[in-house]
Structure 1
């Protein structure tokens, strides 16, 4: 049997040929290996260098190797956060001609670490909760795509932080199954496996003295189920918003914010029956909104103000005809953000007379106007628009606020 390297990219086989496939993976020389942290695996897994790439190599039988390779390719097509499959190597023989197990080759996710390694550090419990939020987001996205993982654990998940965003990535799809749609029973079973696996690994770390003393292994396992359930409910319930009811979308965003999640992307589908809205959640680090708003618009605000303005910007962008996330020909977010500042933010702020708003900065004014519009829209049960919100705010809110700030007569 000749060595065979099955890959979708014609460049990868040439790179992989330099590796010692005639040697069992456990015995590969150090010169080929890259020392990176690994989770627990039932198979032998090693990180190696192939040209300029850092790759993960896993030995397993041919059928599951090919199956996992195809599943990872499916997840890539679906846009699910997972490692990139590069190749499957079969027909391996050692120097004596004895067969060796085939190998699945994936690209190492730069800047990532296994979840288990993250929990082995002295990380604060508050940060650990955000990590679990990111894992809940991954599970929800997998289930929405019809993928039952079957083996979610701290070892089978990679964590990476990019520009303040927390993200979890699937690294092992060997036990996964892809369906057109998952039943509630399939989702519950997959979630229960995650709970048991996560609590079990945390108990192992606790027994080894490698877990923060404030972390409850059982509680953390239960927490991911609660976070998953809340996020699943908020993302999957069907809502079609009639024309003029855009404040309902804002209500959904606020509920996601209350759950601790932010909106990474919002898609609006227009129809004669109303606007159907789809949200993609994300988990972010402290100060993320300030940095994001400053990068996109040049506005320097407080964190809560930035979150509120970014939500409004995202909602506005989703209504623009040239907004198409993922389309290289569509307008870039920076271009749309500049248009929002020019056509929405500045005219709205200027509608509040300077002598009335006093020392309030533009970002604070706009934030206050958005809050007031939300309040009035909820009361009226339809979106009243910014113009009416500005008029009511100037007439009824600012005078009262100014009166409370003015010094009283000492007599």
Structure 2
């Protein structure tokens, strides 16, 4: 169903002239179109001016990518037939939901971009590009600017923002199409980093060309691991488990393996047939109900496994121990975060950073640090000094009478997330 709050936005005013009471001040990436953020019923939406045809096409593509479980922004609406108070036509817009705790690449560093941060951003984009290519999506405009990034336990997770130039091929992509997308990515990333360098916003030791070339190596390495086949002797069947283990460490599951024995019966050929991302995410969600990033999930599961071993609970049911860990370890940490600081980072990222902070304190002290002490130290010396990476949104005001078309809206595409409050994370438990 259509979100009625859409009707409260001033569609009769050119987007560039919208009043401040409607506009949400958030960092934006570079875009060929006019894009503005606006308050909408307790959350924020991104509004992009474009043509009606392109808006509808991108809306449908984003919906399709969501169904394929590709990390991307959520489409909300396409709005056409806009006119101002004098009856003059205004440009159609595409409305998407802003991804909480995400930032454009330029907002992920405060002063200068360091080489290690740039490399992690490029690595995250390489993972996203591989996932897109696996489902047969040709992006056509791969860049850091067309991507949003969320912190994921020391790394970053990349989300597609702009699908305007993309096309989905049911039969999959050819090697030439994949290489074309990869070359577009390399050139665009080099240009974006060189632009930052010209503005004095990168560290002296950062080499834009080397960093941009890194996406090629990262992409090809991951693509080979996920789709490549290998042959080995039938006496080395353990390699199957080894291959599955490597894929799991990369965060991918194998739904099916194609194994063929040669005519001589002495060798086995293995090739992943269907590969899905999110191995650790799904395990954490199954055990605890927590929905986290892949690296965050891996870190939380490591702490859960450590808890299980430390307290001698290996023989107990895994789900029962996971519930105990959730109640005794994770939830108390989240509840300890002051309400005014809960927009800084999402709970899973807070927990990951707390574990790092506790380890650092223990290294300095030469002995283990109680969790409660580590939490207090982390809040006061680390978290309190971070900028907010969520959006804090006030009530919506104003109404309009202009005529709008909203197409095509349904429950799947415009479901409204509950307003954020101090117990928001519990919705995932």
TM-score, normalised on structure 2?
Answer: 0.62
Q: After superposition, where does 1:285-296 map in structure 2 within 5 Å?
A: 289=298, 291-295=300-304
* Deviates most, 86-95 or 269-278: 269-278
SS in 2 for 1:153: coil
Q: Which residue of 2 aligns with 1:269?
A: 256
C-alpha distance in 1, partners of 2:252/2:202? 35
SS in 1 for 2:162: coil
Q: Which residue of 1 aligns with 2:103?
A: 113
Q: Which residue of 1 aligns with 2:243?
A: 252
Matched, 1:171 2:161: yes
Number of positions where the alignment pairs a residue of Structure 1 with one of Structure 2: 295
C-alpha distance in 2, partners of 1:136/1:272? 28
Give the Å deviation of 1:211. 1.2
Give the Å deviation of 1:226. 1.0
Q: Deviations over 1:243-293 (max 9, x none)?
A: 996632343357669xxxx33232343789698645545798999755422
Q: Which residue of 2 aligns with 1:6?
A: none
Assess if the C-alpha contact under 8 Å between 1:240 and 1:273 holds in 2.
Answer: no
C-alpha distance in 1, partners of 2:64/2:196? 33
TM-score, normalised on structure 1?
Answer: 0.64
Going from structure 1 to structure 2, the CA distance change for 1:121 and 1:146 (only over 3 Å counts) comes to farther
Matched, 1:36 2:26: yes
Matched, 1:213 2:200: no
SS in 2 for 1:200: helix
Q: Deviations over 1:279-315 (max 9, x none)?
A: 54579899975542222562469xxxxxxxxxxx9xx
Q: Which residue of 2 aligns with 1:226?
A: 217
SS in 1 for 2:251: strand
Give the Å deviation of 1:28. 0.7
C-alpha distance in 2, partners of 1:333/1:165? 28
Assess if the C-alpha contact under 8 Å between 1:150 and 1:190 holds in 2.
Answer: yes
Q: Deviations over 1:336-389 (max 9, x none)?
A: 989xxxxxxxxxxxxxxxxxxxxxxxxxxxxxxxxxxxxxxxxxxxxxxxxxxx
C-alpha distance in 1, partners of 2:222/2:299? 24
SS in 2 for 1:66: helix
Give the Å deviation of 1:122. 3.4
C-alpha distance in 1, partners of 2:185/2:26? 24
Going from structure 1 to structure 2, the CA distance change for 1:19 and 1:194 (only over 3 Å counts) comes to same
SS in 1 for 2:38: strand
2:13 to 3, 13, 23: 23
Give the Å deviation of 1:38. 0.6
Which protein has the larger Cα radius of gyration, Structure 1 or Structure 2? 1
Assess if the C-alpha contact under 8 Å between 1:297 and 1:334 holds in 2.
Answer: no
C-alpha distance in 1, partners of 2:259/2:185? 41
Assess if the C-alpha contact under 8 Å between 1:86 and 1:107 holds in 2.
Answer: yes
Assess if the C-alpha contact under 8 Å between 1:120 and 1:211 holds in 2.
Answer: no
Going from structure 1 to structure 2, the CA distance change for 1:100 and 1:267 (only over 3 Å counts) comes to same
Assess if the C-alpha contact under 8 Å between 2:29 and 2:146 holds in 1.
Answer: yes
Assess if the C-alpha contact under 8 Å between 1:86 and 1:105 holds in 2.
Answer: yes
SS in 2 for 1:182: coil
Gaps of 5+ in 2: 262-269, 281-292, 324-429
Assess if the C-alpha contact under 8 Å between 2:244 and 2:254 holds in 1.
Answer: no
C-alpha distance in 2, partners of 1:174/1:45? 14
Q: After superposition, where does 1:60-71 map in structure 2 within 5 Å?
A: 60-71=50-61
Question: Which protein has greater RCO, CA pairs closer than 8 Å, 6+ apart?
Answer: 2
Give the Å deviation of 1:53. 1.9
